[in-house]
Structure 1
Amino acid sequence: MAAQLPSTFIERMKELLGTEYEQFADTYKQTPYGGIRVNTLKITVQELLERSPFELQPIPWCPTGFYTEDGTRPGKHPYYHAGLYYIQEPSAMAPVELLNVQPGDRVLDLCAAPGGKSTQIAAKLQGQGLLISNDLHPERTKALAKNLELYGVRNGIVLNESPDRIAAAFPGFFDRILIDAPCSGEGMFRKDEDMVKQWEPGTPRKYADMQRDILRSAAEALTPGGTIVYSTCTFAPEENEGSILEFLASHPQFTAVPAGGAGSFSPGLGELPEAARLWPHKVKGEGHFMAVLRHDGSSAAQGDTGNADTALPVSVHSKRGKAPMAAKAPGGRGDGGRGGKGGRASGKGSAPKGREPQGSGEEAALAAFAEFCREQLGWQPDGCPVMFGDHLYISPLPKEALDGLKTIRPGWYVGHVRSGRFIPGHPLATALKPSECCRSLSLSSGNGEAVSYLKGETLAIPEQRLSVKPESTSKGYVLVCIDGFSAGWAKWQEGMLKNEYPAGWRWT
């Protein structure tokens, strides 16, 4: 690497690693490892391995993760734009595996942007339960929301809130919480020279203070018996073992359980051997720290926050149940509450900033959506409808649960109403399967037509190439797929496919 490592950092690492330091230092002369993680919301691991245009080698700690060869550009293949895999640093795939998410769980990804770990959690939920992905920085939530949309997540909510406000809104609510904590980033020095330039001797202590507050809030939001996984991409003990030991000392109802890790993880330092460290001279990946914190199930864990089941609407606590799509829109604010930001941050048809939802017209909008579902899908999604202006979301939570929170996405964005007609949104398409649409079309990734679609071009498509359900006509919205996997919308009429792929998402 070109950037010079800080001398204070070097001295500390020599003290931590002893005779292993030279091996560690040699990793800065090596090319960082690249990886992809299969999006099992859309494709199985075996299917991707059979279709993959590039060589893949398994990552030992993530069954859906694979190393890519140096020079491979997975972001330049149509499969990336179809959301079949997420490009992710290999070590960063480990924390979610330790979280042990099960379908139906209520999960909070507290520091989620840009969304890699959230998409990994969503794949494990398999459309069941609830995922709330949060980030404190407004600009970063744009990438977070777009990634959840690209990867076809239907049961996700995106917030832009502080951890303490989330804990106050959802006391004792989440089964599992991931804290990929803000940190000094020492484990990423060889990948990101800017992190080296920003580092100062006092940086780890500054982040440790921040981490302590985040852990405290997470404890308040966790249900008794739940699990927190805390991770960083730094080597600094005060941000890792130090933060966890301080948390455990003030929260006796929590225990650090062994992280394990397929023989690839090293134990935590000092008094916390249950934690795990990924050292770049011992694994094919960057530096990471992880700790698994298990709650003992006692109600005292929530302190004075009270019983979570009385703090939220009853339907929120129906963990594995489905809220039916209402025949009428719920009254009141549809943007997630005071200060909400229900407007879209990516894709087509952004809602105007600051626009308030209008009570009148919501019933007509839902009727228009129901008509679209009958004519174009043949079914209607379950969930709680949330309107923001003319924009409609299907949420896993009733709107009241998000009151007062800065909400970027209250749920699955399905589209907007214009002149009384429902216009489907791009995230609706990316989360659908061909069998869920009245019309679909599969474009080939191998002959250039998929790339032409991704560039926004109009295509000449003969009617016989369309897959049309019985009792449906060929004319109308078509779910365009790449080798059978959904990518976006188009309209077919008289042999021409009018492209509906959003300009901000197009192939460049």
Structure 2
Amino acid sequence: MAVQLPGTFMQRMKELLGSEEEYQKFADSYLDAPYGGLRINTLKIPVDSLLALSPFKLEPIPWCPTGFYTQEGVKPGKHPYYHAGLYYIQEPSAMAPVELLDVLPGERVLDLCAAPGGKSTQIAAKLQGQGLLVSNDLHPERTKALAKNLELYGVRNGIVLNENPDRIAAAFPGFFDKILIDAPCSGEGMFRKDEDMVKQWDPGTPAKYAAMQHEILQSAAAALAPGGTIVYSTCTFAIEENEGSIGEFLSAHPQFELIPVGGRGSFSPGFGEMAGAARLWPHRVKGEGHFMAVLRHDGSGRPEVEAESPLLAAARREKAPKGKAARAAGRGEEAKGKGGRASGKSGRSAVAGHSPLGEETVLAVYADFITEQLGMQPPGHPVLFGDHLYISPLPKEKLNGLKTVRPGWYVGQVRNGRFIPGHPLATALNPAESVRSLSLSSLNGEAVSYLKGETLAIPRERLSVKDGSGLKGYVLVCIDGYSAGWGKWQDGMLKNEYPAGWRWT
């Protein structure tokens, strides 16, 4: 693959890299095809289990224990396992920032520039269903993909916002243990992967983004709890957006220090005084260009911060192992129906709606559904948007005044006096949590038929039904044992409840 790069960009890279040999290796890397990768979703499946099931060859990515290279020409998005949320297709270098964030179960984490959701799903897997994930993006259209990805990958403890960073900081001062800033940037590191980034670039682009990055860092500092950590990342090479932005931030915030991560393993050091920052170069690793910096608060002011939970304290002591399967899941769904689009409108809080039936009635109908259909009680705070019910990791008052796309895990709606479970409820469950379940095979075409929305002939003996329960009701439909959606079984036929907006095409 040959990419036509701007001459001014290449001249700057020659000066940046220093030697002719290093520059030539960099230039030659643009003749290669970009690397593909996927990251296993340990909310739904352990790494070893996915490797045993995988129909395609996977090669480990050195900086991400759940990440793997895929071979050129392989299309993992065209397999039922993708639709069951067992892995996220992600550029390999983009997996590195969350690994540096070192998220522990039970922490409160903010992904400030989150769309389309790859890094948020990675954070969610590390939280193992405990604590809180707030995923934000400033662009309303991009939050739709963000919300849908969190739903597909079974995130139960997530909230999606469409806000300016400074408003989040005002609503959550000193609140988050960890904050990820995958900052908007000039995208120079993606030139090999996305030629549209080349077309949009001009010599003034880095300076424009550097000003924006400064404001985002300011807001993140205000929202971070004392002693917390910020990981700042970009996919660009420009010093003014990388070492320059971090140097300016540290000068203005003496309570922060740069934690050295550069110059070890696959991570090359940053430039000058920012050698502790990390760079991924496309001619040195199998991935695109990235910059990362880990910023740690010194802990001053900690007495004013809410005491951490015993669960989180234990996790910190034990340094809980990463990559373990966790049965956490789900999130919101569209207030209009079963599809995966965002329900909150720009400028409107999703927690502001009121049900004409009354909250007590909706919760009573939901409680009946839980008793009849599920083997568990989803923990959290009930939040109503009209007759649509979310289970939120935060009390609804905490979101008042914020543009909220998803206030929590979307579990369903009340219609004609009955509770209709949402698709994100299904994708977040495991078979043991449903009274009725059915596993379809990925090998004989029946899983694809289900994903296309087709009705299936299913004999009674294939259903798994808990003792004392009848056949009438919703069935959790799984693919090789991993949840994918709802169905209803009657007289040997499975009525398909897979939403039209999610179907296999």
Same-fold status (TM-score > 0.5): yes
Q: What is the alpha-carbon distance in structure 1 between the residues aligned to residue 356 and residue 456 of structure 2?
A: 40
Q: What is the alpha-carbon distance in structure 1 between the residues aligned to residue 340 and residue 58 of structure 2?
A: 34
Q: 2:425 aligns with which of 422, 425, 428?
A: 428
Question: Does residue 408 of structure 1 match 2:405?
Answer: yes
Q: Residue 4 of structure 1 corresponds to which residue in structure 2? A: 4
Q: What is the alpha-carbon distance in structure 2 between the residues aligned to residue 99 and residue 344 of structure 1?
A: 36
User: Does the CA contact (< 8 Å) of 1:154 and 1:411 recur in 2?
Assistant: yes
What is the CA distance between 1:475 and its match in structure 2?
2.1
What is the CA distance between 1:349 and its match in structure 2?
9.5
User: Does the CA contact (< 8 Å) of 1:32 and 1:286 recur in 2?
Assistant: yes
Greater Cα offset, 467-476 or 90-99: 467-476
Q: 1:150 aligns with which of 147, 152, 160?
A: 152
Q: 2:359 aligns with which of 358, 362, 381?
A: 362
Q: Residue 499 of structure 2 corresponds to which residue in structure 1? A: 502
Q: Residue 211 of structure 2 corresponds to which residue in structure 1? A: 209
- TM-aligned CA distance change 1:299 to 1:21, over 3 Å: same
Secondary structure of 2:426's aligned partner = helix
TM-score, structure 2 normalization:
0.91
Q: How does 1:43-122 map to 2 (within 5 A)?
A: 43-122=45-124
Q: What is the alpha-carbon distance in structure 2 between the residues aligned to residue 352 and residue 268 of structure 1?
A: 40
Tell me the amino acid that sits aligned with residue 115 of structure 1. G
Q: What is the alpha-carbon distance in structure 1 between the residues aligned to residue 403 and residue 128 of structure 2?
A: 26
Tell me the amino acid that sits aligned with residue 141 of structure 2. E
Q: What is the alpha-carbon distance in structure 2 between the residues aligned to residue 342 and residue 82 of structure 1?
A: 19
Q: What is the alpha-carbon distance in structure 2 between the residues aligned to residue 349 and residue 113 of structure 1?
A: 13
Q: 2:42 aligns with which of 21, 27, 40?
A: 40
Q: Residue 384 of structure 1 corresponds to which residue in structure 2? A: 381
Gapped regions of structure 1 (runs ≥ 5): 301-305, 322-340
User: Does the CA contact (< 8 Å) of 1:113 and 1:144 recur in 2?
Assistant: yes
Question: Does residue 289 of structure 1 match 2:299?
Answer: no
Q: What is the alpha-carbon distance in structure 1 between the residues aligned to residue 172 and residue 336 of structure 2?
A: 24
Tell me the amino acid that sits aligned with residue 4 of structure 2. Q
What is the CA distance between 1:307 and its match in structure 2?
4.6
What is the CA distance between 1:308 and its match in structure 2?
5.7
User: Does the CA contact (< 8 Å) of 2:434 and 2:476 recur in 1?
Assistant: yes
Tell me the amino acid that sits aligned with residue 14 of structure 2. K
Q: 1:445 aligns with which of 434, 442, 452?
A: 442
- TM-aligned CA distance change 1:350 to 1:407, over 3 Å: closer
User: Does the CA contact (< 8 Å) of 1:429 and 1:488 recur in 2?
Assistant: yes
User: Does the CA contact (< 8 Å) of 2:3 and 2:30 recur in 1?
Assistant: no
Question: Does residue 280 of structure 1 match 2:282?
Answer: yes
Q: What is the alpha-carbon distance in structure 2 between the residues aligned to residue 287 and residue 351 of structure 1?
A: 35
Q: What is the alpha-carbon distance in structure 1 between the residues aligned to residue 470 and residue 248 of structure 2?
A: 64
Q: What is the alpha-carbon distance in structure 1 between the residues aligned to residue 392 and residue 133 of structure 2?
A: 11
Tell me the amino acid that sits aligned with residue 7 of structure 1. G
Q: Residue 319 of structure 2 corresponds to which residue in structure 1? A: none
Secondary structure of 1:120's aligned partner = helix
User: Does the CA contact (< 8 Å) of 2:175 and 2:225 recur in 1?
Assistant: yes
Q: Residue 270 of structure 1 corresponds to which residue in structure 2? A: 272
Could you say which structure has the greater relative contact order, defined with CA pairs below 8 angstroms and 6 or more residues apart? 2
Secondary structure of 1:23's aligned partner = helix
Q: What is the alpha-carbon distance in structure 1 between the residues aligned to residue 334 and residue 369 of structure 2?
A: 22
What is the CA distance between 1:3 and its match in structure 2?
4.7
Tell me the amino acid that sits aligned with residue 445 of structure 1. S
Q: 1:228 aligns with which of 213, 217, 230?
A: 230
Tell me the amino acid that sits aligned with residue 5 of structure 1. L
User: Does the CA contact (< 8 Å) of 2:37 and 2:67 recur in 1?
Assistant: yes
Gapped regions of structure 2 (runs ≥ 5): 313-332
Q: What is the alpha-carbon distance in structure 1 between the residues aligned to residue 100 and residue 341 of structure 2?
A: 38
Q: What is the alpha-carbon distance in structure 1 between the residues aligned to residue 365 and residue 291 of structure 2?
A: 50
Please report the RMSD computed on the Cα atoms of aligned residues, expressed in angstroms.
2.0
Q: What is the alpha-carbon distance in structure 2 between the residues aligned to residue 28 and residue 203 of structure 1?
A: 21
User: Does the CA contact (< 8 Å) of 1:351 and 1:389 recur in 2?
Assistant: no
Q: What is the alpha-carbon distance in structure 2 between the residues aligned to residue 234 and residue 346 of structure 1?
A: 38
Q: Residue 464 of structure 1 corresponds to which residue in structure 2? A: 461
What is the CA distance between 1:106 and its match in structure 2?
0.2
User: Does the CA contact (< 8 Å) of 2:2 and 2:30 recur in 1?
Assistant: no
After superposition, give the CA deviation of every residue in 1:300-333 in whole Å (9 maximum; x if it has no partner): 9xxxxx9565xxxx9xx86859xxxxxxxxxxxx
Secondary structure of 1:413's aligned partner = strand
Secondary structure of 2:140's aligned partner = coil
Q: What is the alpha-carbon distance in structure 2 between the residues aligned to residue 307 and residue 173 of structure 1?
A: 11
Q: How does 1:232-381 map to 2 (within 5 A)?
A: 232-260=234-262, 263-299=265-301, 307=304, 309=306, 343=335, 347=339, 356-358=353-355, 360-381=357-378
Secondary structure of 2:196's aligned partner = helix
What is the CA distance between 1:474 and its match in structure 2?
1.6
What is the CA distance between 1:378 and its match in structure 2?
2.9
Q: What is the alpha-carbon distance in structure 1 between the residues aligned to residue 121 and residue 69 of structure 2?
A: 18
Secondary structure of 2:274's aligned partner = coil
Q: Residue 325 of structure 1 corresponds to which residue in structure 2? A: none
Greater Cα offset, 13-22 or 35-44: 13-22
- TM-aligned CA distance change 1:44 to 1:59, over 3 Å: same
User: Does the CA contact (< 8 Å) of 1:142 and 1:346 recur in 2?
Assistant: no
After superposition, give the CA deviation of every residue in 1:330-377 in whole Å (9 maximum; x if it has no partner): xxxxxxxxxxx9846972698696793236521111111110110011
Q: How does 1:9-28 map to 2 (within 5 A)?
A: 9-19=9-19, 20-28=22-30
Secondary structure of 1:86's aligned partner = strand
- TM-aligned CA distance change 1:233 to 1:345, over 3 Å: farther
Q: What is the alpha-carbon distance in structure 1 between the residues aligned to residue 118 and residue 341 of structure 2?
A: 25
